[in-house]
Structure 1
Amino acid sequence: MFHTVIIPSAKRPQILHETIASMLQQQTPADQILITVADKSYVLPETLAFPKVQIVLARPGLCQQVNDAIPYIDSCATFVSILDDDVELAPDYFTHARIFSEEHPEVAAFSGFLVRNGNVERSEGRSLLLSFTDEPDRSFEIQSTVYGCNINTRPEVLRTVKFDERLPLYGWLCDADFGFRCRKFGICVSYNACRLVHLMTSSGRISGTRMGFAQIMNPYYLYRKGVIPFWEVLQSHWLIATRNNLIKLFFLDQKIDRQGRLKGNIIAFFMILRGQIEPEFMEKLS
């Protein structure tokens, strides 16, 4: 099996470097690692010196960066992982992922088991993963989609489905859309043997106003596409986002710009009321 890894990244070269350095310590390392960025300055020279690492200069935006990397996937590739630049994988993640892909051709795409999702330093994440000394749980659960920080699929699926480029910049909910459209090729699952930690590092991410806009506009756009039902837009996205931003606005949350997010929420709601379903408008916000 020839294994290609795609890592879209922006403006955090040190984090990217640490992720790839860790990834190269896998029991069965990837055969090709494509770093896809909008600017070469986002990658340290020592990162490019790693074996099997290749840079792809792409258009800005997560969806565009992944799509622009697809033509560079080696023709021998039979398995592709799309990973965030701030994940820490268990040392046997790739080993279990490859075996699972070969044994389950009915699976179009799958994600691993998140031991921790956010609010964790890399050293702590490594310790958490190394604390698992038992035999990995090889069970899996059918899901409606995949989780964007780690998506495993086949090259032919990725080349056909691709990522929706109308979801700009950080591509909020692009994983939900991608997983939904993958289902024409098979099921989407979560596989427990592939353990990982998502650091969810905030540096390099989009502004509070842009994020707040995406919290409202992107799920409604996916509803209009037929990806998610309207009740999910209301309960799982709009209600949670606006409630958190309103309540936590008064707690002076230094890690999250609640005032900016609330402003973005309001802008998106007004646009939707006017019939403007334009997730791309986020790029015009500061």
Structure 2
Amino acid sequence: MKFSLIICTYKRREAIAHLMQSVVIQTVYPDEVLIIDGSPDDDTNEYFSTTSFKNLKYYKVPADQRGLTKQRNFGIAKIDKDIEAVCFLDDDTVLEPDYFSEVIKVFNNNPDVTGVGGVAINENRWEEKKEGVFYDSKKYYEFEGYVCKEGTRNVARNYLGLSSHLPPGQMPEYSHGRTMGYPLTDKFYEVDLLVGMSMAYRVNVLKNIKFSTYFEGYGLYEDADFSLRALTFGKNVIATSAKLNHYHNAAGRPNKYKYGKMVTINGWYVWRIKYPKPSVKAKLKWFAITWVLIMVRATNIITTSKRKEAFTETMGRVAGCISLLINKPTH
């Protein structure tokens, strides 16, 4: 299978350098590597002008093409005509040597699968269930002989009866699904949502739909929006054999107030992609969970050292809720 790699980047020269070093040691190398650089400075351009990578094409986009969704669409328009699949990676990831091999293997062996996501092993919190150990179902999630310790927000939801009844990555009618991924079993699992840090699609999907320009700039949840619309063409799966590390570089991210506001508003927008007409019960549950998450985040003002960040993000989430009452986004 001929495949492209598209990396959209913004002011992260050091991060993308680490990623490229993991790309060159892959057991299966991309047929083309497209770097779509939205940086206003020339640091990333200088890095690629002084290095040599096989099959690499570098593009520095103008100001009106900056932003993750625009840069991804720009990259898609530049792929070769005989490409069969496109892999997208965040610029702050580092791959395990057989990452591409495992992604392509899933595509080749499963014609009904049109979207494949990988697993960030440095964030994976699953562990094998130990015999004779009691795992409180309010504090641990169990799956195929593995357990994952729930975060504070999910523990609160469990006690309040607001937790998702579906496996990770699948969206219930009230949205707010489980986000802990899957244990490293080397299997793949069908999901609704793929994460933008690591996702790949067959080219027929990309020929028919584009990344939405609703998500300007940083574009929180643009990956969820796209993966939900991609379900029209086949299955999305998480391949636990496709492994990488994700380091969440802070460069280029919005301030916490804007981020908090996007969490709420963009979360609502994506929910309505899959469920344009949810039931009254689902609507009430969505807002109930949203406010639980706001209150949990607000406790971080006291419990963490990053009090200003916790406060501004909380205020952004609240502002997002108020905004939805006044002016809901349209699709």
Contact kept, 8 Å, 2:301 with 2:307, in 1: the verdict is no
What number of residue pairs does the alignment pair up? 261
Which of 287, 302, 317 lines up with 1:250 in the alignment? 302
Relative to structure 1, the CA distance from residue 235 to residue 203 in structure 2 (aligned partners, 3 Å threshold; closer, same or farther) is farther
- 249-258 vs 180-189, greater mean Cα deviation: 249-258
- SS of the equivalent of 1:109 reads strand
Larger radius of gyration: 2
- SS of the equivalent of 1:164 reads coil
Question: Aligned runs of 1:154-233 on 2, under 5 Å?
Answer: 154-227=202-275, 230=282, 233=286
Q: State the alpha-carbon separation in 1 of the partners of residues 33 and 308 from structure 2.
A: 32
**Residue 122 of structure 1: aligned partner:** none
The one-letter amino acid paired with 1:94 is F
Q: State the alpha-carbon separation in 1 of the partners of residues 275 and 43 from structure 2.
A: 33
**Residue 57 of structure 2: aligned partner:** 54
**Residue 100 of structure 2: aligned partner:** 94
- Pairwise CA distance, 1:18: 1.3
- SS of the equivalent of 1:116 reads coil
- Pairwise CA distance, 1:212: 0.6
The one-letter amino acid paired with 1:35 is I
**Alignment deviations for residues 31-54 of structure 1 (CA, whole Å, 9 cap, x no partner):** 211111223625142334332222
Relative to structure 1, the CA distance from residue 165 to residue 117 in structure 2 (aligned partners, 3 Å threshold; closer, same or farther) is farther
- SS of the equivalent of 2:42 reads helix
**Residue 110 of structure 1: aligned partner:** 116
Q: What is the Cα-based RMSD across aligned positions, in Å?
A: 2.5
Q: State the alpha-carbon separation in 2 of the partners of residues 73 and 29 from structure 1.
A: 16
Relative to structure 1, the CA distance from residue 250 to residue 137 in structure 2 (aligned partners, 3 Å threshold; closer, same or farther) is closer
**Alignment deviations for residues 230-279 of structure 1 (CA, whole Å, 9 cap, x no partner):** 5574466x245413321101235339811221222232222211124389
1:261 paired to 2:313: yes
Q: State the alpha-carbon separation in 2 of the partners of residues 168 and 80 from structure 1.
A: 22
Contact kept, 8 Å, 2:98 with 2:242, in 1: the verdict is yes
Relative to structure 1, the CA distance from residue 139 to residue 205 in structure 2 (aligned partners, 3 Å threshold; closer, same or farther) is same
Relative to structure 1, the CA distance from residue 53 to residue 149 in structure 2 (aligned partners, 3 Å threshold; closer, same or farther) is same
The one-letter amino acid paired with 2:120 is L
Relative to structure 1, the CA distance from residue 235 to residue 45 in structure 2 (aligned partners, 3 Å threshold; closer, same or farther) is farther
- Pairwise CA distance, 1:10: 1.0
Q: TM-score normalised to the size of structure 2? A: 0.72
1:78 paired to 2:88: no
Among the aligned pairs, what percent are the same residue? 22
Question: Aligned runs of 1:265-284 on 2, under 5 Å?
Answer: 265-277=317-329
Point out where structure 1 has 5 or more consecutive residues left out of the alignment: 119-135, 280-286
Contact kept, 8 Å, 1:163 with 1:174, in 2: the verdict is yes
- 98-107 vs 251-260, greater mean Cα deviation: 251-260
Which of 66, 69, 84 lines up with 1:63 in the alignment? 69
Contact kept, 8 Å, 2:8 with 2:68, in 1: the verdict is yes
Q: State the alpha-carbon separation in 2 of the partners of residues 240 and 60 from structure 1.
A: 34
Q: State the alpha-carbon separation in 2 of the partners of residues 63 and 272 from structure 1.
A: 23
The one-letter amino acid paired with 2:100 is F
Relative to structure 1, the CA distance from residue 244 to residue 4 in structure 2 (aligned partners, 3 Å threshold; closer, same or farther) is same
Contact kept, 8 Å, 1:157 with 1:185, in 2: the verdict is yes
